[in-house]
């Protein structure tokens, strides 16, 4: 039997900016008791694992303020805007972050980036048939200062296994690609 849903009794906005909204709810649990529940709303996002060829992927590295580190590689990711399709958002992020457009985007996964207090839905893709774009098309986000690298996919997979790559979207996409590459052998 599925768990009984909780009932939201009240909700109030605590904070909001252009990237996120924090709200505090009072919810009634199945036992009739109430609890305060904080929810961070981030909307939806996209991520693309771009393959330059069968054995190499384009990755980015940037300073991640929340964790205070700058050494971990990740795939291009970013927010989705309501006027775009998810595929358009994925192409935009590829162009902004690594200067490529994918000739083919393969949708591979939709997931909750966090299942308890963050409300964010991620749409993941594998990018194939990459084409460099005109440098004038590359307009980076004003808060991103990126290092771009072309890395052997085998090394990226090992970084995921060793927990050197910890970004959940990248982990999912890399493991998906690795699993599907072994099924084709």
Instruction: For residues 77 and 167, give the distance between their C-alpha atoms in angstroms, rounded to a whole number.
Output: 10
- As given in the structure block, the two tokens for residue 133 are 């774009």
Question: DSSP per residue over the chain, as a string?
Answer: -PPPPPEEEEEEEEEE-SS-EEEEEEEE-TTS-EEEEEEEEEEEEEEEEEEEETTEEEEEE--BTTTTB---EE--EEE--TTS-HHHHHHHHHHHHHSEEEEEEEEEEEEES-SSSEEEEEEEEEEEEEEEPPGGG----TT---EEEEEEHHHHHHHHHTTS---HHHHHHHHHHHHHHHHT-
Backbone angles phi, psi at 180, to 5 degrees: -75, -25
* Nearest CA among 119, 58, 55 for reference residue 93: 58
Closest by CA to 46, choosing from 8, 1, 102, 117, is 102
Q: Which fold has domain 43-111+121-183?
A: Nucleoside Triphosphate Pyrophosphohydrolase (3.90.79)
pTM over 0.75, yes/no: yes
Residue 97 has pLDDT above 60, yes or no: yes
Indicate the average pLDDT of the chain: 94
Task: Report pLDDT for 183.
Answer: 65
Comparing CA positions, the residue from 10, 4, 72 lying closest to residue 35 is: 10
Give the tens place of pLDDT for each residue, 173-185: 999 999 998 765 4
Of the chain, the percentage scoring pLDDT greater than 70 comes to 98
Query: What's the pLDDT at 136?
Result: 82
User: pLDDT, tens digit, for every residue of 64-81?
Assistant: 988 988 889 999 999 999
Where in the chain are the domains? Answer: 43-111+121-183
**pLDDT of 15-34, one tens digit each?**
999 999 999 999 999 999 99
Tokens in use for 55?
């054995």
Mean pLDDT to the nearest integer, 87-96: 96
* Cβ(99)–Cβ(60) below 8 Å: no
Q: For residues 95 and 134, what is the distance between their CA atoms, to the nearest angstrom?
A: 9
Structure tokens that stand for 160 in this block: 């995921």
pLDDT digit string (tens) for 134-167? 888 777 788 888 899 999 999 999 999 999 999 9
- pLDDT at position 185: 46
The residue-averaged pLDDT of 111-134 equals 94
pLDDT of residue 184: 59
């Amino acid at each position: 039997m599925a768990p009984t849903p909780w009932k939201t009794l009240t909700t109030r906005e605590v904070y909001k900016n252009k990237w996120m909204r924090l709200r505090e709810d009072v919810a009634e649990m199945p036992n009739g008791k109430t609890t305060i529940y904080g929810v961070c709303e981030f909307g939806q996002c996209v991520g693309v694992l771009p393959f330059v060829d069968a054995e190499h992927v384009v990755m980015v590295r940037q300073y991640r303020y929340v964790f205070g580190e700058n050494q971990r590689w990740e795939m291009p990711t970013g927010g989705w805007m309501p006027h775009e399709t998810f595929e358009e958002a994925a192409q935009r992020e590829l162009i902004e972050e690594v200067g490529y457009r994918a000739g083919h985007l393969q949708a591979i996964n939709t997931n909750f980036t966090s299942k308890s207090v963050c409300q964010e839905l991620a749409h993941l893709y594998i990018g194939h048939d990459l084409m460099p774009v005109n440098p004038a098309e590359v307009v980076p986000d004003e808060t991103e200062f990126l290092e771009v690298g072309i890395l052997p996919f085998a090394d990226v997979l090992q970084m995921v296994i060793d927990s050197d790559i910890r970004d959940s979207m990248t982990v999912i996409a890399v493991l998906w690609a690795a699993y599907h590459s072994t099924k084709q052998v």
